[in-house]
Structure 1
Amino acid sequence: MSAPGEEDDRPLYEQFGFRIARRGYDRDQVEAYITRLRGGAPPAGPVGFDLVRRGYERGRVDEVIARLRHEVGSPGQA
């Protein structure tokens, strides 16, 4: 784990504890969205990801995105 103020070099799925589900959110879409959100450029409007085989578990992704959006003060929901 990184110290406060340090960059965390672990992959996003490790940082946030994302697990692979039989059908879940498209992993590339989730990671791209979180990268933009953490970079201070959250897309406006509601969040939406394609459902694919072996995607990220939906509930955990929704929790993480809601928390991150709250932290950056961005409206909308997962």
Structure 2
Amino acid sequence: MSTPGEEDDRPLYERFGFRIARRGYDRDQVEAYLTQLLGGAPPAGNPAFELVRRGYERGRVDEVITRLHGEAAGRGGRS
């Protein structure tokens, strides 16, 4: 992962190590949520993604989102 303040222009699936599962979270929905979260505007409430064929592996997505929310809370939100 990049250092704070450094732009990481890799695709989100590569940046966070998402793998494609037989049945997983809708990739477009996950990427839209993460883009918003990383942009400093955390979406309200818990994320809810549709389960689709060839979506992102659920456990890894859940792990990344939990970590990112924890990091944002540790910074007191994004200022």
Q: Percent identity?
A: 80
Q: Runs of 4 or more off by more than 2 Å in structure 1?
A: 1-5
Q: Secondary structure at the match of 2:45?
A: coil
Shift of 1:12: 0.2
Deviation by residue 1:9-51 (Cα, 9 ceiling, x = unmatched)? 1100000000000000000000000000011111111111000
Aligned Cα root-mean-square deviation (Å):
1.6
Which residue of the partner structure matches residue 56 of structure 2?
Answer: 56
Residue aligning to 2:77: none
Residue correspondences, number: 74
Give the match for residue 45 of structure 1: 45
The answer to whether residue 28 in structure 2 is matched with residue 5 in structure 1 is no
Aligned match of 1:30: 30
Gaps of 5+ in 1: none
1:5 Cα shift?
2.6
Q: TM-score, normalised by structure 1?
A: 0.87
Of 50-59 and 2-11, more deviation after overlay is shown by 2-11
* Unpaired stretches in structure 2, ≥5 consecutive residues: 75-79
d(CA) in 2 for partners of 1:20, 1:31:
13
